Amino acid sequence: MKHAYLIIAHNEFPVLERLLQALDDQRNDIYIHFDAKVKELPALSVQHANLFILQDQERVDVAWGDVSVVEAEYALFEAANSRGPYAYYHLLSGVDMPLKSQNEIHDFFNQHQGKEFIGYFTGNMDYELDRKVNRYHLFPKDFRANGTLGNKIRRLIRYAYMKLQYVFNIRRNTDIEFKKGTQWVSITQRFVDDVLKKKEEVFKIYGHTFCSDEIFLQTICWHSPYKDQVFDFDNEGRSSMRSIGWKDGVLYDYENQDYGHLIQSGSLFARKFNSRNLEVVDKILANITQKNEG
């Protein structure tokens, strides 16, 4: 059965072009959601995979931290599911790269068929989850808005309202045990079916929350039979099979000197990369291409 690669993209298109080359295999269907703010889409093509670019009416104006990120994910899940079924749905960003060849990736998932590759943060997240999903966040699309007078006023109102919620102990979603981890996952058709059935409930719960894209899939899985199928649950990176660069609490763009570390990591995918450091991306692509040809 084929795999579906679901890509959320908004910039760094030279990296996206190389990502498509790395995924270009007849066993794959590739779906791309471009942020609605992107007015001129890059010219993209593949030779072996099927490539589907979501139409304008399917595209979401994505804002960091807002539930619109989840809306974009649902748009991809729905588009792919309409052409499924698939063995696995891989959620990637447009600045990711696979670290293994397609033969290696398909062999790995064949060996672990039925497992869900969902990263869970296993430390204490009580305070962070309380702030993100148990409180109301006003103007969620403006979390990273520019410093215009209107945005500054909204920021002050949001801050004041959050403080009031703590003073008067105003909480929401108190009957749900939330879990958190990376939003980038590889999940089975059965779990995707379950996620799609819960769409209305998801948007009811996560409207006016913060960073729900890192919470909703983990939480759905936690309260389902698929929880027992999570691969290597106690290791967030390995359970998602992704190397994600963090440095001093900030998401780190991999650079050329990181190539050796990435290739030896054992991960299937890595993020994130940028067009200023294409050498490492090209080396990864060359390594994958050589293996595919071999």
Share of the chain above pLDDT 90, in %: 84
Q: 278 exposed, middle or buried (CB, 10 Å; 0-12, 13-18, 19+)? A: middle
Contact 242, 92 (CB under 8 A): no
How would DSSP label each residue in 150-208?
A: HHHHHHHHHHHHHHHHHHTT----TT-------S--EEEHHHHHHHHHTHHHHHHHHTT
Other C-beta atoms lying within 10 Å of the C-beta of residue 141: 15
Residue 281 has pLDDT above 70, yes or no: yes
Distance separating alpha carbons of residues 226 and 191, to the nearest angstrom: 7
Q: What is the pLDDT of residues 104-139, one digit of tens each?
A: 999 999 999 999 999 999 888 999 999 999 999 998
Cα distances (angstroms) measured from residue 84 to each of 5, 112, 117, 137: 12, 20, 19, 36
Top-level class of domain 3-123+179-293? alpha beta
Q: What is the pLDDT of residues 168-227, one digit of tens each?
A: 999 999 999 999 999 999 999 999 999 999 999 999 999 999 999 999 999 999 999 999
Residue 251 has pLDDT above 90, yes or no: no
Cα distances (angstroms) measured from residue 149 to each of 63, 160, 200, 237: 19, 17, 35, 41
Mean pLDDT, the chain, rounded, equals 94
Q: What is the pLDDT of residues 172-186, one digit of tens each?
A: 999 999 999 999 999
Distance of CA 60 to the CA centre of its chain: 15
